[in-house]
Amino acid sequence: MKRVILQSIFRIVLIYLLFGGLWIAVSDRILESLIADPHRLTLLQTYKGWFFVAASALLLYVVARREFRIREKAETALRESVEKYRVLMKHANDGIVIVDAGKGTILDANRKIEELTGLPMAQLLGRQLTELHPLRETARCQALFEELQNKGRAVEAHLCVLHTDGREIPVEVSANIVEIGGKRVIQGIFRDITLRKAAEEAMQKEKERAEQYLDIAGVMLVVIDREGTVTLINKKGSEMLGYSEEEIVGKKWYDHFVPDRIRSELKTIFSRLIAGELASAEYEYYESPIRTREGGERMVAWHTTFFKDDKGRILGGLRSGEDITERKKAEDQARYRLEHLSALHAIDLTISSSLDLRVTLREFVALVLSQLRVDAADVLLLDPHTKMLEYAAMLGFRNTRIRHSVLRLGEGVAGRAALEHRRISIPNLQDPQSGYVRSPLLEGEGFVAYHVVPLIAKGQIKGVLEVFHRAPVAPDDEWTDFLEALAAQAAIAIDNAALFDELQRSNTDLILAYDTTIEGWAKALELRDQETEGHTRRTAEITVRMARAMGMTEAELAHARRGALLHDIGKMSIPDSILLKDGPLTDEEWQIMRRHPVYAFELLSPIRYLRPALDIPYCHHERWDGSGYPRGLKGEKIPLAARIFALADIWDALMSERRYHAAWPEERVREYIRSLSGAQLDPKVVEVFLNMEWTQQKEEGEKKAAETAAKRG
């Protein structure tokens, strides 16, 4: 204030001096130039002096008044400022103290300081500032006080204020040096941070609890920002990757923890997700591997929660990853085993659906290539007579030289495997010590690894299965077990085919024996009656030809032929006196003769093989209109084979010369047969017969008639 007064006095004096000097210097010159009369000039100078006194007084009044007004305004502004300061200081939410910069004593304080310390203003004033803090902080407070004095700039610190009730209230202190009334003082601001401290402590506890939850979680938890940088990872994630948390956080996820082969693809997908080009919902779950510190890989199932801003832009993502490596291995093994079972089942189906061994083996080697993932395979079969292993099937070879494989049992690797009943593997066929003797047959194939397995069924060696690789391999036990299982299936197929061939040969021999026996019986019947020689054979041929034309199967044709050959087998029970009688038979003799179909049935039905052939021997005398014998069957109730044979029997009998009639001309026989249609014979059978050519049968009938005539002559 004193300085302000002095400044005002100085300005007044300076203005007065300037006005007086200008007046003296200018006024005399002006008067002298205007007035020449000395008397008048002296008078005016007297008036000039009084005017100067009046003007200077007025000037001093104006200047002084102005200065006083300025001073009044300054004092008013100062009072208002001081009042505002006191109001602000008094009602401030932060504690404020004014401290003597030299002594460190409190000069002033606000109400908040009273609340923080529990001391009234009277006890605060004059107290050392350090006394507001706990004793343990005295040294720190002193150091901050000295730093503030020495550097003269603001300092900040976190301290505690000691309340009179013993509580320690945490405060954030900000202090700086100011000058008030020409005196350097320290202005300290104390902000109560009790609530903030409590919130921070609670937050820290929550963070620690969350970290504990993260660390005890059984899955990897990782947070990646929009730049692909890891910002958080839990203990499980660190363990899975093999790095510490500090080594992971801050690293680019895709550059450090993703396998090289898929890095570019996943980075592209992530970039497109961030750019909004892909729907995030499609990538909330996916499976991909991670790369560990040791360079290995672990398969992980990822569930992702994306962080988005108000505009829907992705800011990052929280990923939870479950290690599914072992599960994937188990799934792969299960799928591999299922494929194995499917392959074995396919081989079973092949064996059951085809009895052609060559076809079965071709399909078998195809399955071996697809299931074992080998480059080539072949099968060599053992000839049980020569004891030689010979080529049977192959697939995957670049040339066919392997077809020339012929090995003695015990010769070479394959022969030794067959002889010793054991699997043999050669990891390097190029090794001269491998013992493989057929290297010339593999020239140009590029094979490296080789495995051979004996094909054994019921303890007997059937051949060998050979598989080849064009690259080095290290098969595991499961692969070799499957190889041996496939070999066992192949051995079963070979054994089944051999059994079938043997059974087929035996069945053929048996059928030939039966048919020879049947033909022998038919020949024996013809020997009883020389006139019927060749009749049985001819009627059998006609019957078979017509039956084929009417759509019978091959099996039915075979039974029809046997039935035709045995059609009169029942006559073996008819006495020669009746069978060979020249004249007409009596009623009693006809009764006996008409029983020969029944005798045929009784003779043949116990023979299971001939039961399907009974239709002709038992029913060939039945008539279409039901007037036949022995059962009086009518129409289609008569077996088709019997209906066909009935016509063939009439045709050959009339076309041949017998002792009781000469051979008829063909046209007469045709007309006669046509007349029997619908009565004795089946109309459909008659129609088929008449539309067929029977030149061969006609010629044989004429030849037989000529031979008979020659004998009689």
Q: What's the domain range around 26?
A: 2-86
pTM (two decimals): 0.43
Residues 102 and 60 in one domain: no
Is residue 114 located within the same domain as residue 75? no
Among 440, 458, 489, where does a domain finish? 489
DSSP 356: -
Q: Are residues 669 and 649 in the same domain?
A: yes
> Do 299 and 445 sit in the same domain of this protein?
no
Q: Does 514 reside within a domain? A: no
pLDDT at residue number 449: 93
Residue 607's CATH number: 1.10.3210.10
Please answer whether residues 657 and 663 qualify as being in contact, where contact means their C-beta atoms are separated by less than 8 angstroms: yes
- Co-location of 589 and 703 in the same domain: yes
Q: Are residues 618 and 666 in the same domain?
A: yes
CA distances from 711 to 271, 450, 526, 582, 707 (A): 112, 80, 17, 18, 6
- Amino acid 514: pLDDT: 67
Of residues 704 and 324, more confidently modeled = 324
* Assigned domain for 522 exists: no
| Residue 516 belongs to some domain of the structure | no
By CB atoms closer than 10 A (0-12, 13-18, 19+), residue 314 is: middle
pLDDT computed for residue 524 by the predictor: 63
d(CA 350, CA 360): 6
DSSP, residue by residue, 516-565: HHHHHHHHHHHHH-GGGTTHHHHHHHHHHHHHHHTT--HHHHHHHHHHHH
Domain of residue 251, CATH code: 3.30.450.20
Q: Is 392 helix (H, G, I), strand (E, B) or coil?
A: strand
Q: Give how far the C-alpha of residue 465 lies from the chain's centroid of Cα atoms, to the nearest Å.
A: 33
- My answer on whether 82 and 97 are in the same domain is no
Q: Which of 277, 307, 323 is the C-terminal boundary of a domain?
A: 323
Residue 187 maps to a domain: yes
Region for 250 from its dihedrals, namely left if φ exceeds 0, alpha if ψ lies in -120 to 50, beta otherwise? left
Q: What is the mean pLDDT of residues 59-88?
A: 73
Mean pLDDT in residue range 11-24: 71
| Domain closes at, from 426, 461, 489 | 489
DSSP 128: B
**Residue 630 included in any domain:** yes
Same domain, 228 and 182: no
pLDDT at 378: 94
Residues 526, 535 contacting (CB under 8 angstroms):
yes
pLDDT digits (tens, 9 = 90+) for 77-124: 767 776 776 776 777 888 888 888 888 898 888 888 888 899 998 898
Instruction: Kindly state whether residues 11 and 156 are assigned to the same domain.
Output: no
CATH at residue 338: 3.30.450.40
pLDDT score of 465 more than 90: yes
pLDDT category, 550, cuts 50, 70, 90?
very high
Span of 247-256, 360-369, 487-496 with lowest mean pLDDT: 487-496
11 shares a domain with 102: no
pLDDT of residue 712: 46
If residue 54 lies in a helix (H) or strand (E), which one and from where to where? helix 38-91
Classify residue 175: in a domain, yes or no. yes
**212 in helix, strand or coil?**
helix
The answer to the question of residue 624 being in a domain is yes
Cα separation values, 198 from 158, 203, 265, 482, 672, Å: 14, 8, 47, 68, 129
Whether cis (ω within 30° of 0) applies to the bond prior to 630 is yes
Number of domains in the chain: 5
What is the predicted pLDDT for the residue at 72?
A: 77
Let me know whether 689 and 549 are in one domain.
yes
Both tokens assigned to 486? 């496939």
Which of 32-46, 188-202, 579-593 has the least mean pLDDT?
Answer: 32-46
644-690: pLDDT as tens digits: 999 999 998 888 876 667 889 999 999 999 999 999 999 999 999 99
pLDDT exceeds 70 at position 706: no
Determine what percent of the chain is predicted with pLDDT higher than 90: 28
Using the predicted structure, report yes or no on whether residue 69 has a pLDDT greater than 70.
yes
Average pLDDT, the chain: 83
Residue with token string 């409590």: 198
Confidence at residue 689, expressed as pLDDT on a 0 to 100 scale:
93
Q: Does 707 share its domain with 689?
A: yes
Whether 498 has a pLDDT exceeding 90, the answer reads: no
Cα angle: 353, vertex 359, 360; to 5 degrees: 60
Position 566 in a domain: yes
